[in-house]
């Protein structure tokens, strides 16, 4: 084999392993996170290192710590299931009762320790026309 063929083979081998690696990213939780539905998670007895879940904030469940304004706990609910969430950090603008949220973090002992907290945008700007007059 000459040099060119050898190099070509090595390159192909490297690319093939890379592609193989890419098809397996689902198993690597440093790269990807699975979305769970709230009911799926509420019935889960095992701890899960990384999760992402969506739901609504249960009214009157938001509890902001007196000592540290950035510490908060609340319940997310969907249909009949609800789970407690703790979060430390600045809360998004639209964070309030019944807001739709997506949280990401870890799940242990029926509790979500969130590292990410996002609210879904309630309204888009491209809405109906205003300032109109019917004739």
Distance CA 80, CA 102 (A): 18
* Nearest-approach distance from CB 97 to other proteins, in angstroms: 12
Take residue 70 and report the two structure tokens written for it.
């950035």
Task: Output the smallest distance, CB 98 to other proteins, in A.
Answer: 11
Q: Which of 15, 16, 79, 115 binds other proteins (CB under 8 A)?
A: 15
Among the listed ranges 14-22, 41-49, 74-82, 107-115, the one in contact with other proteins (CB under 8 A) is 14-22
Between residue 21 and residue 40, which ones bind other proteins under the rule CB under 8 A? 22, 25-26, 30-35
Binding-site size for other proteins (CB under 8 A) equals 38
The Cα–Cα gap between 43 and 33 comes to 19
CB 112, CB 85: distance < 8 Å: yes
Neighbours of 63 (CB within 10 A): 13
């Amino acid at each position: 084999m000459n040099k060119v063929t050898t190099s070509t083979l090595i390159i192909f081998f490297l690319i093939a392993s890379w592609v193989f690696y890419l098809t397996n990213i689902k198993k690597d939780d440093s790269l990807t996170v699975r979305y769970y539905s709230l009911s799926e998670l509420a019935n889960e007895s095992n701890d899960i290192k990384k999760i992402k879940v969506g739901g609504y904030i249960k009214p009157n469940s938001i509890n902001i710590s007196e000592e540290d304004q950035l510490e908060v706990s609340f319940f997310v609910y969907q249909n009949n299931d609800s789970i407690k969430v703790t979060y430390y950090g600045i809360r998004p603008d639209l964070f309030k009762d019944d807001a739709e949220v997506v949280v990401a973090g870890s799940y242990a002992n029926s509790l979500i320790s969130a590292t990410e907290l996002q609210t879904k945008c309630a309204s888009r700007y491209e809405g109906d026309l205003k300032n109109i007059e019917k004739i």
